[in-house]
Amino acid sequence: MDWGMRNRLSKLIQRDGRALFIPIDHGYFQGPTRKLEKPGETIKPLLPYADAIMLTRGILRNCIDPTVDKPIILRVSGGTSMARRAELDQEGQITSVREAIRLNACAVSMSIFVGAPGEHQTLLNFARLVDECEDYGIPAMAVTAVGAELEKRDARYLALASRIAAELGARVVKTYYCEEGFEKVVDGCPVPIVIAGGPKVDSELEVFNWVYDAIQKGAIGVNLGRNIWQHDYPVAMAKAIRAIIHENATPKEAQQVFEETKRATTSG
């Protein structure tokens, strides 16, 4: 592997082999998502706990201070919106690799929609992106997307989508967690896997359980957005999840980190 690629990957995946990415790219098809109306303000207090942040070029240029010292994962696919839900799988490439280099991105990310009408188009888009990224030593992260079909997220589907992403040349695969058979997803995918959270759930312990179990089964970390920044105590969530990923905390220990940070925030 070339030096540039290795260098960028080492900024994303930490020395312990783990990673905590915080995405704030949701507006690229959802518009002003709840608690992400002002993405720069949402992410600012969370930056100390993130190993990298994922976002589009528009939010990067307009909402993030260029002196930021966090690696940027630039989302380069899109072109669809929630206003046409049935066509969410029809994404194309919306940002060039040249622009990613101009913005000093550490990696780029693109969605693939396995099993949807847009499967062929998005897989070819991703393969072309990998070809270009490899020329410049930029890791391409595949996002195994399901659009509005959240029920698709079982081990069989996630293993299929993740393996295909790896076969096409992804350096990192972002997929979802599933309670049953997640180890099959990891075992069948020869590149590092991070998990997304999906829509916010009610209990923080549920999130800690997912993250902990995913790590036990071989994921290297998370690319977790709404279950951190839509929570009433986002910093407490980020710190607790960081403890699971980088300090091997159990869900119970993570809950303690959460409660302590929440108390400090409330009393401060």
Q: Which residues are catalytic?
A: 174
**Tokens found for residue 208:** 């800690």
DSSP state letter for 137: T
Contact between 223 and ligand R5P by CB under 6 A: the answer reads yes
Residue 199 burial (C-beta neighbours within 10 Å; 0-12, 13-18, 19+): exposed
d(C-alpha 111, C-alpha 145), whole Å: 6
Say if CB 230 and CB 200 are below 8 A apart: yes
Binding mask 15-34 for ligand R5P (x = CB under 6 A): --------x-xx--------
| Distances, alpha carbon 65 to alpha carbons 62, 136, 188, in Å | 8, 25, 39
- The residue range among 88-96, 146-154, 208-216, 223-231 that interacts with ligand R5P, by the rule CB under 6 A, is 223-231
Residues between 141 and 170 with contacts to ligand R5P, criterion CB under 6 A: 143
Contact between 78 and ligand R5P by CB under 6 A: the answer reads no
- The residue range among 34-42, 58-66, 100-108, 222-230 that interacts with ligand R5P, by the rule CB under 6 A, is 222-230
Residue 257: CB minimum distance to ligand R5P, A: 19
Residues 6+ apart with CB under 8 A from 81: 29, 30, 31
Specify the residue, 82 or 86, whose C-beta has the smaller distance to ligand R5P: 82
Strand partners, 78: 92
* Overall size of the chain counted in residues: 268
Contact between 39 and ligand R5P by CB under 6 A: the answer reads no
Interface residue with ligand R5P, options 12, 20, 54, 97 (CB under 6 A): 54
Specify the residue, 130 or 211, whose C-beta has the smaller distance to ligand R5P: 211
Contact between 108 and ligand R5P by CB under 6 A: the answer reads no
Task: Please tell me whether residue 142 adopts helix, strand or coil conformation.
Answer: strand
Q: What torsion, rounded to 10 degrees, do the Cα atoms 150, 152, 157, 158 define?
A: 10
Reported as type and span, the H/E element at residue 75 is strand 72-75
- The residue range among 82-90, 114-122, 150-158, 219-227 that interacts with ligand R5P, by the rule CB under 6 A, is 219-227
Contact between 188 and ligand R5P by CB under 6 A: the answer reads no
- The residue range among 35-43, 79-87, 122-130, 192-200 that interacts with ligand R5P, by the rule CB under 6 A, is 192-200
Residue 244: CB minimum distance to ligand R5P, A: 15
Least Cα distance to 249 among 196, 258, 224, 22 occurs for 258
Say if CB 93 and CB 61 are below 8 A apart: no
Specify the residue, 92 or 137, whose C-beta has the smaller distance to ligand R5P: 92
* Residue appearing with tokens 């096409």: 168
Interface residue with ligand R5P, options 35, 57, 152, 226 (CB under 6 A): 226
Question: For binding to ligand R5P (CB under 6 A), which residues are involved?
Answer: 23, 25-26, 54, 143, 196-198, 223-227
